[in-house]
Amino acid sequence: MGLVELKKLFSPHQSLDFEKVSFVNANARGIPAPIVYSENSKCDTCKKCSTQCPTSAIQVLSSKEIQFDYGACLQCGICEDVCPENIIKDTGFNYVFSYNRETLKIKFTNGQFTPIEDSPTENIIKFQKLTSIKGMKYREVAAAGNNSVECELNASFNNFFDSEGNQASSVASPKHADAIVYSGPVSKNMEGPLQTAWDCMPEPKALIATGTEAICGGLYPIGKLPSLPDLYIGGDPPRPDVMINGFRFLMGKWKFSFQHEVFKRIQELRAIGQKEK
Amino acid sequence: MFDQYEHEHLFVDGVFSFNNNKSFYKLSHNHLGEFSLEEKKSFSDITNDTSIPLWLIRHSLGVSSGEEDTSSFIRVPKKDYNYLEERSKELELALIDKSSIRNLIYNGLKINLDVGGYSHAVGPIHAGIIEPGHFRFFVKGEIIQHLTIRLGFQHRDILNKLIGKSAISAIPVSETISGDSSVAYSTAFSKIFEKAAKIKVDDDLEIIRLILLEVERCAIHIGDIGAMAGDIGYYPLHGVCATDRGVPLGVMEALVGNRFGKGGVFPGEVRLNKRLKKEALKPIADNLYKGFLRVEYEFLRAVHNSTIRERLQECGNITRKMVRQNGFVGMPARCTGIEMDMRKFETLYLKYYPISLHHTDENLTGDAWSRFYLRYLELKASVEWLCKMIPEINIESSGRGIHLIQSISKFSPGIHYQLVEGWRGPVLVVLQISKDGTIQNSYIRDPSVLNWHALELAVRGELIGDFPLNNKSFNLSYVGFDL
């Protein structure tokens, strides 16, 4: 018995290195984007993607303009299946998070867009001063989320993802917490408890919307939030590594720009498409 | 003697009313898996039917009645304190008048306090990363005398939201009923729409669905074994399980592209991962088996070399009598040795390689240990079955699209139902479907609806400090109850 423990002590650690992480998972579906784009598409008459999307995350504005709201995207891949011209493709990109809600919306004009930088608000800068070295403690409030986010948050404490090693840990009371992580569309009966939890936290504090349902309600109408979230993490549910890197991003331990990385990924996929031709 | 009883026993699956309480229905099945849908004329027919568990009635037909005041009902607790086990007294507590019954949503709670005892309220926000619910303990010293569980914090009005939805738009909603049982619910919804549209689904596809269900079961069972070990402070097993729970989740991700199987099962189709290749299936199965071996090694070491068994035995007991009286389903029923598994009516499990479902071990006595050990038995059976079946997946059979159901315009209208054995127990979905294939009425019953009461009964007489352990040994869904 002792030998087993001794062997484990000297074997290399298995946890993920969050500095060298890939934004694209080998297996997981990611966000969709118009990868293959032709000048004479019939998007304005087809609109199948926008009508079939469960959360109406896609808006076809004209034959040339199409807007994706990645904050509302469940990453279900239905739009890719229904697109008759195979314009929309799964990018496999999972790292959907930003400080601002607007950064998660991308408008493609002729299949192109200009990425914008994600700027932290004043509150986030204050929050980062507190947490960038010491790390943060958070309190999780399940506000009508479908318990998959809770499963993934629990998974983030295992020895592969190692949330505590990355200085994001969970505490029992909001009074001891720097941030509130909430999941789900905030049902009517959870509005009060969420507000109470938020009110008894000391300043500076942050509100983290975890999962698509927490950002925009997903399939349900979103309830009243105690404040505007400081970090939006998309996905249904977000993978544990996405959440931990999101927390590191909020703490200012890690540089990331959602739109720039999506831009790079799309260029990469188009280059692969060109080669295959 | 018990088996004799079992054969006469009717399993009541659900009670619901459609069309503004004009008609009430009772859905039940017998030991041969034959279902019957009975229509009842009045509400009193339902409450007088003693075969229907009270929690089932309170969940679907209960109404909100403001603050609950049970202080006049609860007498000074004695050792043989069992007023809730008698149905008439239970009804007395729940009935508002002859036509309405109290629901199980928290609206304030008043409980009589005995001298020397205290009331201990927990929630809605709990200390761990779990869902919200209100638990009111009545404790004397360190011993729980009584527990009242009231939920409803996550009510999202799913049943009304489903009205008017077509097959394609109902599936994403079904996956949010309870995220950890996504595959079970989407399979139940898909099968109902297939019945209504009269689509015959290929056996290959049905088997992929069963595989996804078993993968879901493996992931949660490994996680629960670890969480129970963590709750009693045995970390070697906790650590291994927390990590290797990722293996079945990874298998699910490799098969359908989401760690919880979301977007995988659709009516008439299974949308397998587009990146999945035939030659990758064998390594996936091997990987799953290796992960299981790591868990098994650590599990057996924990069981043989530590006092984990003694710690869990005689903790959170439920008896067969309780199961029969209150209609518990799934694992709380099976942990008492009752063989109650909807999978035994699914012939496809037998087609290639039979799954072992008969866990009649002497360890299954209804305590926390039996739930811990049963998880291991079920996990082992599922992994063995999966390792045989995953390499057999016919990738070509997957439609990888969602077009089939959309091409059908004529549906057979009426009430359709489906029970699917998820990892928690059988999930029941009843949908009334119109001619054009949209949902008119719906009733959804998670196994947790019945089993929350099992937790209330199991913790009586237990230490208050053991409550997290007992709760975890059931691991019930809050959101599947609240809908």
The chain B residue lying nearest A142, using CA atoms, is B131
Question: Is pLDDT at B316 greater than 80 in this prediction?
Answer: yes
The answer to whether A109 and A84 are in contact (CB under 8 A) is: no
Across the interface, do B179 and A173 touch by the CB < 8 Å criterion? no
> Residue A239: which of B173, B177, B259 has the nearest Cβ?
B259
Q: Which chain A positions have a beta carbon within 8 Å of B403's beta carbon?
A: 81-82
Q: How far apart are CA A205 and CA A193, in angstroms?
A: 17
pLDDT in tens, B73-129: 655 555 555 555 667 777 777 777 777 888 888 888 887 776 777 888 887 888 888
pLDDT for position B189: 93
Distance between CA B245 and CA B262 in Å, rounded?
A: 17
* Opening angle at CA A31, ends A151 and A272, nearest 5: 130
Residue of B nearest to A31 (CA): B257
- Helix H or strand E segment including B319: none
What pLDDT sits at residue B8? 60
d(CA B332, CA B456): 12
Confidence class for position A158, pLDDT limits 50, 70, 90:
confident
How far is residue A236's CA from residue A271's CA, in Å, rounded to a whole number?
A: 29
B14, amino acid identity: G
B2 band by pLDDT with thresholds 50, 70 and 90? very low
| B218-245 tens-digit pLDDT | 999 999 999 999 888 888 899 899 989 9
Average pLDDT, chain B: 85
CA B114 to chain centre: 35
| Nearest CA-CA distance, residue A71 and chain B, Å | 17
User: Which chain A residue has the Cα nearest residue B171?
Assistant: A54
The values of phi and psi at residue A54, to 5°, are -60, -30
The proportion of chain B whose per-residue pLDDT surpasses 70, expressed as a percent, equals 94
Task: Answer yes or no: is pLDDT of B176 > 50.
Answer: yes
CB within 8 Å: B176 and A160? no
| pLDDT of res. B1 | 37
Q: CB-based contact (8 Å) between A157 and chain B?
A: yes
DSSP 8-class letter at B396: G
Sign of CA dihedral B30, B36, B37, B41: negative
For residue B54, the model assigns a pLDDT of 84
For every residue of B224-290, DSSP letters joined together read HHHHHHHHTT-HHHHHHHHHHTHHHHHHHHHHHSSTT-TT-EETTEE---TT--GGGHHHHHHHHHH
Q: What is the mean pLDDT of residues B263-289?
A: 88
**Shortest alpha-carbon distance between residue A119 and chain B (Å):** 30
Name the residue among B132, B153, B178 with its Cβ closest to that of A146.
Answer: B178
Q: Is the pLDDT of residue B7 over 60?
A: no
pLDDT at position A138 is 92
Check if the beta carbon of residue A150 is closer than 8 Å to that of residue A182. no
Contact A147 B179 (CB under 8 A): yes
Confidence of residue B352 (pLDDT cuts 50, 70, 90): confident
β-strands B95-97, B100-101 pairing: antiparallel
* pLDDT of res. B383: 93
C-alpha B105/C-alpha B63 separation (Å) is 9
Instruction: State whether residue A16 sits within 8 Å of chain B by CB.
Output: no
pLDDT band at A118 (very low <50, low <70, confident <90, very high): confident
Residue A146 has pLDDT above 90, yes or no: no
Write out the two tokens for B29.
């099945």
Residues of chain A contacting B257 with CB distance shorter than 8 Å: 27-29, 77
- B173 CA: distance to closest CA in chain A (Å): 7
The pLDDT of residue A247: 92
Strand, helix or coil for residue B457: helix
Provide, as residue numbers in chain B, all residues whose Cβ is less than 8 Å from the Cβ of A173.
127
Specify the pLDDT at position A159. Answer: 85
Q: Do B179 and A148 touch (CB under 8 A)?
A: yes
Token pair 């009645």 is found at: B65
Over range A210-230, report the average pLDDT: 90
Q: Is the pLDDT of residue A1 over 70?
A: no
Indicate the residue of A1, A75, A155 with minimum beta-carbon distance to B245: A155
Chain A residues with beta carbon closer than 8 angstroms to that of B246: 155, 158, 160
Nearest to B268 by CA among B402, B415, B412: B402
Touching B: A residues 42-101, CB under 8 Å: 52, 54, 74-78, 81-82, 90
More confidently predicted of A25 and B286: B286
Q: What is the DSSP secondary structure assignment for residue B124, as one 8-state letter?
A: S
Q: Which residue of A has its CA nearest to B246?
A: A155
Is the CB of residue B209 less than 8 Å from the CB of residue B399? no
Identify from B105, B176, B305 which residue to disrupt to test chain A contact, counting A C-beta atoms within 10 A and taking the largest count. Answer: B176
Judged by CB atoms closer than 8 Å, whether chains meet at B242 and A173 is answered as no
Mean pLDDT of chain A: 87
Count contacts between A and B (CB, < 8 Å): 159
Across the interface, whether the CB atoms of A146 and B243 are under 8 A apart is answered no
pLDDT reported for residue A4: 76
pLDDT in tens, A188-197: 989 999 999 9
Query: How much is the average pLDDT of B268-274?
Result: 86
CB contact under 8 A, B263 and A188: no
- Predicted TM-score (pTM) of the model is 0.92
Distance from CA of B417 to the nearest CA of A (A): 23
CB distance B479–A144 less than 8 Å?
Answer: yes
d(CA A254, CA A245): 8
Long-range contact set of residues A39-42: C-beta below 8 Å, sequence gap at least 24? A39/A110, A41/A85, A41/A87, A42/A85
Cβ contacts of residue A264 below 8 Å, gap of 6+?
none
Task: In whole angstroms, give the CA distance from residue A120 to residue A252.
Answer: 10
Find how far residue B182's CA is from the centre of its chain. Answer: 12
What pLDDT is stored for residue B400 in this prediction? Answer: 55
Question: Given CB atoms, is A147 within the 8 Å cutoff of chain B?
Answer: yes
Closest partner CB to B242 (pick from A90, A141, A157): A157
Whole-number Å distance between alpha carbons of A64 and A87: 12
Q: Which residue among A78, A152, A159 sits closest to B239, beta carbon to beta carbon?
A: A159
pLDDT-based confidence at B64, cuts 50/70/90?
Answer: confident
Altogether, the residues listed in chain B come to a count of: 483
Percent of chain A with pLDDT over 90: 27
Q: What's phi and psi for B189, nearest 5 deg?
A: -60, -45
CA dihedral B317, B117, B104, B325 (to 10 degrees): 30
ipTM of the predicted structure? 0.90
pLDDT of B4 strictly over 60: no
CB contact under 8 A, B154 and A160: no
